[in-house]
Copies of this chain bind each other. A is one copy, B any other.
């Protein structure tokens, strides 16, 4: 997984069939400045630190036919996490 920060929304009106309910969000990976787009079902907000799973596992999380989604936000990172989240001084388990 990677940790990233939500930087924007991506709207797509003309799209293929079979995409699930949720939002396409633009993310930035702070360490490198690289950007990617992930699917969100949690309703996270701009500036939030999130945990992202990539590849076919993102698609197979959904029930029913696997949608053409290759990146899924699987969690919002708690502020107290040690690691790549802000305010790193250790924290309680989730």
Contacts and interface: CB of A to CB of B under 8 A. Distances in A.
Given A1-B36, A53-B70, A59-B60, 13 more contacts: A1-B37, A8-B82, A9-B81, A10-B83, A12-B74, A12-B94, A15-B51, A19-B75, A26-B82, A55-B55, A55-B56, A57-B70, A60-B66
A90 B60 contact: no
A37 B3 contact: yes
B54 A10 contact: no
Given A8-B84, A59-B60, A68-B72, A78 B31 contact: no
Q: Which of A34, A61, A72 has the most CB of B within 10 A?
A: A61
Contacts of A53: 68-70
